[in-house]
Structure 1
Amino acid sequence: MSLRKHQTRAYWRDPTKEDLFREAFGLPDDEQPLGEVHAMLAMSGEDEAYSGKLYLSTSFLTFTSLDRRSCRLTLPLATIRRVEKLAPGQDGTAVGAFALALTLFHGLRIILQLNSLRPTNDAFCANLRIRLKASLPLMKALKPFANTFFSEYFLAPERDGAAAGDDEGRTKKKKDDEAVGELISFGDEKDKGKGREVDADEPWTTEWGTESGFHIGLGMTFKFPGDPRKLRERSKMKLWKSFLTQYGRNLTLIRYPSFTRLVLVGLPNRLRGEIWELTCGSMFLRLHNPGVYAQILRDHEGRRSASTDDIEKDLHRSLPEYPAYQDTKGIDTMRRVLTAYAWSNPALGYCQAMNLVAASFLIYMSEEQCFWCLTVLCDRLLPGYYSPSMYGTVLDQRVFEHLVQRCLPFLHEHFVRADIQLSVASLPWFLSLYISSMPMVFAFRIIDCFFLMGPKVLFQVGLAILKLNGPELLGTTDDGAFINVLKAYFATLGDSAYPNSHDPKQRQITKFQELFVVAFREFSIITDDTIASERKRFRAEVLVSIETFAKRTAIRNLASTGRLDKTQLGLAYDHFQLAVLRMRDLEREQALKAGAGANGGGSRSRAGSTASPRASPTSQTPVSPSLLGEDDARPPKEETRPEDRIDRNAFGGFLADVATWARDEKIVRNGLLEHVERKAVDHKLVDKVFAKWDREGKGSVSFQDIVYGLDGVLFNDLMQNVAWLFSIYDSDGDGYLSKDEILQVSEALLYIFRNEPGDRYLGSVSNLIQNLFEFAESTKPDPNALPSSANTAPPPAASAEVDDQDRPFLSLATFRMCILADALLEDFFDSDLTASWRLEVLVPEEKPKPQTIAGGWWSGIVNAVVTDENKERFNRLADEVGKRLDIQTVEQRPSIGKLDAAAAAIEPTARDSLFSTSTSRNKPTSAAARRASETPSNPLSAAAMRMPAYPSAPPPADMGDNPWADAQSPHAGASGGGAAGGVHDIDVQALAQQAMQRPQFAVDVAAPEGEGEGDEPYGGEADDGLLGQVDAMLQADEAAGQPQPQ
């Protein structure tokens, strides 16, 4: 697989059928579909029924109607209390139908009529029975978990009894209402609840756990943004109470058509966090991971990292106008959430603008709810938005620019002519979910729809903003004027869209209502499929830009580049990255295999990545005071985002890519077709090279280590290559080789020459072994000799035990002399070894070519067909055909390739002794004679013997200029493209900083307690007409036949 293919898979993975199933229903990543049937769903006692598909997974029963919008159900199997098969015609079922009645946790009764073939229905019911038994342990924890939802408290039987007139229930309700604060009352109760300070007896919590009441956000203590009267909280709560009573709540809620309408109107403050949990699916993650959030805080108490330092810098810049974040309680709450997420996902850690999103969520959600919601947001809804390179944000900005060009061509042409960079304004919109740009009360309305409908909402709203401000934007000439027009518009979103109209109803329409109508009606053509196809279209362009910047940054940050030039450094980086990506793919596959048998529905893993380290909640250690903001101690900082390194296995693949002798290459011919198969071949020599290049002894090598290692082999001459091989096997660095090390050297040479034709290299290595051992025996000191003087002393590294066979006794000078005695080995070390190190081009640079309509269409077809996977499939098919027809030939390609067939056929000559016949092994050798043997006067080693024992160390950083250091740094995460089409480089980090500078809006100021409780509707509308603002929009959508994904 090519480097670009590996990089693409590292950023974006095409979803499988199972992934699409999980995303459609917001299920955890370990859920596996087990079966599906055609079915019809209806509520017991109601005539309205919906046809669709019923799915069964590991822990859930899900349903979606045929139009994929009218009715949806995501039901944990643990919430099913009873399953019964209905008789034909019972409860309105058709005669002869296969029907089931499900009684749920909250008392709802659902009728499911299975319309598939009888064997399919029987198999589905058998699997359902098995999974229901497997869900029994979770049923015990269901009631405490359900008590963490506000809807459970809101619809409690005691409160219903109070509304019916029961005195005891009325007293209980009044007491609870006073504790909760400004809970909306719907009975004949006329006293208003009074807000007060929170104490330990409150029936809610803003932290975690199942024993402290329902979970709610900081708004319960510090008030929710906006005026409850203008937001019509009372009317919304009435409508939601009716819906939740009829169609279930929290875990058992059924999304009937009115659910979408209620969300579009705007969620009530106290239900917003719960509905966000439901629509994005984080509710189910929290159900399957009880206590994990608190366990992460306990496990990382007192620990510090680069991410936690960045979090501390941004804590006081997160919605500073909101009262909760002017108080230590709000700051500590946000610190814990962001810290827990940074530790749970160290590969991502913390990114700018994440604090702004978390601060907004915490207004309506508890810490634990916010943690899991943030997990779903970063992993599934907006992947890559909050990564170090922000590749997801860059890609979506490229998509948004193209959608502007397609839907608003006049504006796009004006932006190109005036050189206005659209991303200056739009990137903070997407990165902060519009929180940084518009009043919170309106941004939360957009987030309501975002969790319900998906990321397409961000694009639809963005296009609507540009369209509504089109005339003013056409008059702008630079980025500053462009931003000022949008700022003025956002500041008046609550004003009337038609202030001069004579129609009172038209004057009541606000600019924000107009924005919603334009976004969801006029831009309904922007669907999830549109966004997915546009992302796939531009991701190659964005990938090249991001990876080019990452390469330049990595090379500029090198402490030393040695003698490698700019091109060689780029190629070395490409090969290193390929090894890193291969290693990650292997780790991911191993993790998936290990998790396939271990996952029982209780663990969570990230899509497209290995399972994140989630500890099981066993320890009851209290949460760290440092995480609670009470400890000023500064523990040592840990690095949560370590540099890229490759282990020994990955290094073997890297070495096979850059050294011809570390791989086997076979040329496979099937008639007229030919392809080359490469395979890495492991050996102890690879271990030695890895240990030599691992300068820090960490068991892995970094890119800097790779540069140092390549600098020591790419520029060597004869003597330096001999010294390099000697140093590889001189493990103790004493300048001598022992007998075992000599044997290992010979084995390494045989490994290098294994694919060479003939026996000449084999004969040369055989002669070398004999020469090495002959000289080693001849220079071995006589144990009977008496060291009469310093001249007869043994070699420096010799031990007192002179008969130790492993003691060092072969020096580099002697090793050189033996190598140079063979002409073939001399040629190999002189040029062939250096030439065997080849940094091949993995990513050829192709200049963009202008494409015509026909050319773009044809190239699209070619690119879709001619892929790496298709090439591999075709080669496998050709191999099978070649084997069956007996026309396949396989040729082993030599690693060195120095000898042709004629030269390889020459028999190796017998070795010549390096010593005279008068040499006596038993005669003691004098120091002068030993020096003469180590420094012979023959031409083979006259000057060579005076060279140092090891290659010179790489030059320090200050001695050589980094060839990449002078290059101007492009913008971080630049989105590809050029001036054509109005595409600009995107300075992601600068725009992320801009998202932090959020203006303050008067409409976000919370109203004093006690206000907003009146029953007067805002703007003169009655409660019955509250949903009228979205009916026309939905009817137009239905008439156009556009699907509205949930």
Structure 2
Amino acid sequence: MSFFNQLREKASQLSLFDKAEADRKPTRDELFRDEFKLPECETIVDESNAELLIVAVKSDGTSARDQSHDEGPVVYPGKLYLTQHFLVFKDSIDKRSCSLTLNLSTVKKVERIPSKAFIFALSILTSSGTKVLIQFIGIRSKSEEFSQKLKSQLKHNIPNTKKLEPFLRTLYSEFIIRKNEPGVDKSSVKAPEGGLGLLFKFPGDPKKLKDKSKLRLWYDYFRCNGRNLTLSKQKMFQKLIRVGLPNRLRGEMWELTSGAMYLRFQELGTYQRILDSHRDQRSVAIEEIEKDLYRSLPEYSAYQSEDGINRLRRVLTAYSWKNPDLGYCQAMNIVAAALLIFQTEEQAFWTLSILCEKYVPGYYSTTMYGTLLDQKVFEALVEKTMPILWTHISKNDIQLSVVSLPWFLSLFLSSMPLVFAFRIIDIFFLHGPKTLFQVALAILRINGEELLEIDDDGMFISVIKEYFSQLDDSAHPNSPDPKFRQLTKFQELLIVAFKEFSVVTDDMISKERNKHKPAIMKNIENFMKRTQLRNLPRTHHLTQDHLSNIYDRFYESIQSKKMSLGTGKSSMDFETMRQFLSGFCDWILPDDEFKYHDGDFLHRLFRAWDKSGQNELSLTDVVVGLDKLVNRNLMESISNFFGIYDPEGTGEIDREGILQVSEGLLYITKPLQDGKILDQITTNSIESYVADKVLELQTSPDDIVLPSEVNIDKEKFQREQGERYLSAASNFIQRAFEYAQPVEEPMLIDLPSSKDTEKLKANLALDPTHPLTLNVPTFRMVILADESYELLFSKTLADTIHVDRSITVTNKNGVLRDMFDGLIADGRRVASHVRRRMDSTATTSATSVTSGSSRSRTAVVSADEDDDDFDPHADDGDLMDNVELSALGDVPIGGLSDKEAQRGEDLKVLHEQSNYTKDTDQLIEFEH
């Protein structure tokens, strides 16, 4: 679950939402792709100013009349763009007047139009029979350069022309054109496959919806302006969509206006390959899909049959494999079920992909961050456009999101009758997410007067539900004007939405989203953290603060996981676990040393923590594992370590296992061997050494003279500690094989007689003819036989795992310096050693300490560095009870009790001053 190849570098990135990604402005190519719904691979190769004219050519070579323009063909001035697979044009004045997204695979012929010397023009014939005439505006050399690049891209697209014909046979627009060509045998032209509506009927009454009339209008439009991959979108195109798409053509137009058609052509056959490659595989997403299948548009008969359910299952399953970070989320089944009524499985698959990833990102994620964000945006728009209604909603504490959230999440499919919801989706795919806001605002506007009389959530919802049930009724039944009486409530809704609320633009929505996004993301992160920590198993050795730190480090370590976005895997692989542990475990080696000194301990630790057997660790796995590692109960800690090398839980390990355990002990004690960490034994030795130096200067039981400095040979103590742990490892192997039990039925292995063989048999660790096993009780005995290892499992190992270290803590000074500084800083420990020495050697205890000397290299303890006179605590009989040991500089100060801190004596320790006697010495100076 490599969150990253390396841990994120800055504490400011503790927020689990990737702020850098959120604040990044889209590039010009990204904006261009979003505007024209192009696939991700497209970039602008070249661009030019041009004028465009589209001419439809009949089969006899004559031009077809464009009924949308009674005055004849219209020339559109605008901008021409060339990408890797498309030629794109948009009107420079109004994009709605004319835009063309022409797939280069559909170009059959390109000719240069003969003209005057200063004019450069091209004629492009497409597979649909339309001719695109382009006259370039500007410097001729630039126009010729554009033409050369177009020629180059056409050559690169030649291989794609092979799949053009099979693709076109899947489109209904191609079918109705071919079927109605003069002289064509209609029986030989087969209709393409379609959605479930062909088998189970489309929602609504076809006659009332005037499907045939609408289809005729589309037929005329296709004849004159191209179709599917060659379609030019003009004002008539917008009108035909607003009045409602014919059922048989709806699936294709959704696919075209969303851009899913371009993606499907590019990835032809990918849907089936995904299904085939994951056949019979299971996942968490598939289990969730199965729960929701029969709750998908239950009012539609197709989803009461196995045919409809199987189609829905395949589409949702394929998408969960295509986008495993998202997988499957609730409400996705409702949208997919609606698509399948009008589209084939492959069409629905790609349309669902575009919908989830482009149109409403974050709506169908585990956190639903996109929906929650848009609810805040919607509330802000209500406040701006309908302040009176918003004041009423706020005053009565009506939760508007409870009402509106299902509208956005299901694209109105679960709120209003399907036949009307499909009309909204027609416009939604054409104009984008702003459609949802405009319609939602219009619903509140139309019902505003009635809602102002409502003061609770229940009645608010009831009013809206009643309105949705009457959408087919007349909006003005008592009007004397027949036209107004014929206007339905749904038509009125569209008029209000797209006329009155046309001020709601994409830019306005984007600004509101950016305004509310940080707070929404932070709330989601905090909520998810609280929820996950609350659901973790009970830990005996980790506090809530520890769990909070582990949580932050865990998800900070997984680069692909974005908590607030609800995407990415929430489990870590081995490499990520190693990086995760390196943030707070002293025995994790750097990358350059790891491969040489691993000794497979971390691999065994990973497998021991992996309870699922999927080679991935969840947060629960990590917490349970760390809880065992920081256990300070000696016997339990030893048993837990033994269990790492006994994955089957047999309570025994063989000869090889003993050697692997010894390697593991060497691995986790390497910082101790190198002296980077000091254990309690070494700490006590240094403190004893300092105490001895203090007592060496005792000349009188009445006066205690403190040395001005004490030289500590750091390397000596490091070396002694390293030798002690290496000796402990050697003794462990010797004792383990000495006390290991022989296997009851030893294996009989015939070995050739030789001197080397005799040496093997003489060594208990190497003799293959006498198998041995080491059980838990014997392992404990061997560990307890060594003082260093006993201390390791009772204290040192837990001390090397800093679960109390928050993610923002950085070690700037180095481990070695910190360990020595922390040691010297705790004056109470040194004072205790001095006290013990004095109690054992002095014949009488000092009851007071006096001194009249002034500041000197060898000085008495004074209450104030600015005062030569010293007033002791006469009622204190122990010198070191009156002494506070503190550190100077950046060395951490060890705490004394409040009582001790109030006393006037100061014993101060200086580190690494200029009067070092050796480079390897630690210099300690005592002064008043």
TM-score, normalization by structure 1: 0.63
Give 5+ residue unaligned stretches, structure 2. Answer: 1-7, 56-62, 64-71, 678-712, 747-759, 826-928
- Mapping of 1:145-156 within 5 angstroms? 145-156=167-178
Relative to structure 1, the CA distance from residue 434 to residue 768 in structure 2 (aligned partners, 3 Å threshold; closer, same or farther) is same
**Matches of 1:127 and 1:11, distance apart in 2:** 34
Aligned counterpart for 1:21 among listed residues 32, 52, 58? 32
- Is 1:278 aligned with 2:256? yes
Q: Which deviates the most, 136-145 or 470-479?
A: 136-145
Does the residue aligned with 1:113 lie in a helix, a strand or coil?
Answer: strand
Aligned counterpart for 2:81 among listed residues 21, 42, 55? 55
The CA deviation at 1:155 is 1.2
The CA deviation at 1:556 is 3.8
CA contact (8 A) 1:693 1:708 kept: no
Q: Share of identical aligned residues, percent? A: 40
Does the residue aligned with 1:96 lie in a helix, a strand or coil?
Answer: coil
- Report what 2:41 is aligned to: 30
- Report what 2:628 is aligned to: 712
- Mapping of 1:362-401 within 5 angstroms? 362-401=340-379
Residues 950-973 of structure 1, C-alpha deviations (whole Å, 9 max, x = no match) = xxxxxxxxxxxxxxxxxxxxxxxx
CA contact (8 A) 1:836 1:896 kept: no
**Matches of 1:203 and 1:490, distance apart in 2:** 39
- Mapping of 1:645-724 within 5 angstroms? 645-660=571-586, 662=588, 684=597, 688-689=601-602, 691-695=604-608, 696=611, 698-716=614-632
CA contact (8 A) 2:100 2:233 kept: yes
Give, as a single letter, the amino acid of the residue that structure 2 aligns with 1:796.
Q
- Report what 2:181 is aligned to: 160
- Is 1:767 aligned with 2:723? yes
- Is 1:796 aligned with 2:756? no
The CA deviation at 1:437 is 1.6
Q: Which deviates the most, 283-292 or 805-814?
A: 805-814
The CA deviation at 1:52 is 3.2
- Report what 2:483 is aligned to: 505
CA contact (8 A) 2:587 2:667 kept: no
**Matches of 1:827 and 1:300, distance apart in 2:** 48
The CA deviation at 1:463 is 0.6
CA contact (8 A) 1:746 1:765 kept: no
CA contact (8 A) 1:717 1:831 kept: no
**Matches of 1:466 and 1:331, distance apart in 2:** 35
**Matches of 1:106 and 1:88, distance apart in 2:** 26
- Mapping of 1:561-960 within 5 angstroms? 561-580=539-558, 582=559, 644-660=570-586, 662=588, 684=597, 688-689=601-602, 691-695=604-608, 696=611, 698-716=614-632, 734=653, 742=662, 745-746=665-666, 748-751=668-671, 753=674, 759-760=715-716, 762-768=718-724, 771-772=727-728, 775=731, 795-796=740-741, 801-803=761-763, 819-820=787-788, 830=795, 834=799, 836-842=801-807, 893-894=814-815, 897-900=818-821
Larger-gyration structure (1/2): 2
- Is 1:473 aligned with 2:451? yes
CA contact (8 A) 1:42 1:48 kept: yes
**Matches of 2:532 and 2:791, distance apart in 1:** 38
Give, as a single letter, the amino acid of the residue that structure 1 aligns with 2:619.
F
**Matches of 1:777 and 1:516, distance apart in 2:** 83
- Report what 1:70 is aligned to: 97
Give, as a single letter, the amino acid of the residue that structure 1 aligns with 2:579.
G
**Matches of 1:658 and 1:362, distance apart in 2:** 51
Relative to structure 1, the CA distance from residue 895 to residue 120 in structure 2 (aligned partners, 3 Å threshold; closer, same or farther) is farther
Give 5+ residue unaligned stretches, structure 1. Answer: 90-94, 162-167, 177-201, 205-213, 586-606, 611-642, 665-677, 782-792, 845-889, 905-1046
Does the residue aligned with 1:435 lie in a helix, a strand or coil?
Answer: coil
**Matches of 1:333 and 1:476, distance apart in 2:** 43
Residues 213-255 of structure 1, C-alpha deviations (whole Å, 9 max, x = no match) = x232232333322233332334322322221111101110011
- Report what 1:675 is aligned to: none
TM-score, normalization by structure 2: 0.70
**Matches of 2:214 and 2:260, distance apart in 1:** 24
Does the residue aligned with 2:632 lie in a helix, a strand or coil?
Answer: coil
The CA deviation at 1:835 is 5.9
CA contact (8 A) 1:351 1:388 kept: yes
Aligned counterpart for 2:516 among listed residues 535, 538, 560? 538
- Mapping of 1:163-242 within 5 angstroms? 172-173=185-186, 203-204=190-191, 214-242=192-220
- Is 1:7 aligned with 2:39? no
Does the residue aligned with 2:181 lie in a helix, a strand or coil?
Answer: helix
**Matches of 1:755 and 1:100, distance apart in 2:** 76
Relative to structure 1, the CA distance from residue 686 to residue 37 in structure 2 (aligned partners, 3 Å threshold; closer, same or farther) is farther
- Report what 1:195 is aligned to: none
**Matches of 1:485 and 1:692, distance apart in 2:** 60
Aligned counterpart for 1:106 among listed residues 111, 125, 128? 128
**Matches of 1:37 and 1:552, distance apart in 2:** 55
Residues 166-198 of structure 1, C-alpha deviations (whole Å, 9 max, x = no match) = xx65xx44x58xxxxxxxxxxxxxxxxxxxxxx
Give, as a single letter, the amino acid of the residue that structure 1 aligns with 2:101.
T
**Matches of 1:424 and 1:901, distance apart in 2:** 56
CA contact (8 A) 1:316 1:325 kept: yes
**Matches of 1:724 and 1:796, distance apart in 2:** 21
Residues 430-460 of structure 1, C-alpha deviations (whole Å, 9 max, x = no match) = 1111122222222111101100010110011
**Matches of 1:780 and 1:329, distance apart in 2:** 66
Aligned counterpart for 1:548 among listed residues 526, 532, 541? 526
Residues 651-702 of structure 1, C-alpha deviations (whole Å, 9 max, x = no match) = 12211222356488xxxxxxxxxxxxx9997774595245225324654322
CA contact (8 A) 1:836 1:895 kept: no
CA contact (8 A) 2:728 2:788 kept: no
The CA deviation at 1:70 is 2.6
Give, as a single letter, the amino acid of the residue that structure 2 aligns with 1:154.
I
**Matches of 2:370 and 2:426, distance apart in 1:** 21
Aligned counterpart for 2:111 among listed residues 81, 84, 104? 84
The CA deviation at 1:426 is 0.8
- Mapping of 1:82-481 within 5 angstroms? 82-89=109-116, 96-115=118-137, 120-156=142-178, 159-161=180-182, 172-173=185-186, 203-204=190-191, 214-303=192-281, 305-481=283-459
Relative to structure 1, the CA distance from residue 775 to residue 691 in structure 2 (aligned partners, 3 Å threshold; closer, same or farther) is closer
Residues 885-934 of structure 1, C-alpha deviations (whole Å, 9 max, x = no match) = xxxxx975226712149989xxxxxxxxxxxxxxxxxxxxxxxxxxxxxx
**Matches of 2:274 and 2:393, distance apart in 1:** 48
CA contact (8 A) 1:721 1:833 kept: no
CA contact (8 A) 2:13 2:19 kept: no
CA contact (8 A) 1:78 1:132 kept: yes
The CA deviation at 1:425 is 1.8
CA contact (8 A) 2:601 2:667 kept: no
The CA deviation at 1:119 is 6.0
**Matches of 1:767 and 1:304, distance apart in 2:** 53
Does the residue aligned with 1:700 lie in a helix, a strand or coil?
Answer: coil
Does the residue aligned with 2:46 lie in a helix, a strand or coil?
Answer: strand
Relative to structure 1, the CA distance from residue 608 to residue 109 in structure 2 (aligned partners, 3 Å threshold; closer, same or farther) is farther
Give, as a single letter, the amino acid of the residue that structure 2 aligns with 1:72.
S
Q: Which deviates the most, 478-487 or 66-75?
A: 66-75
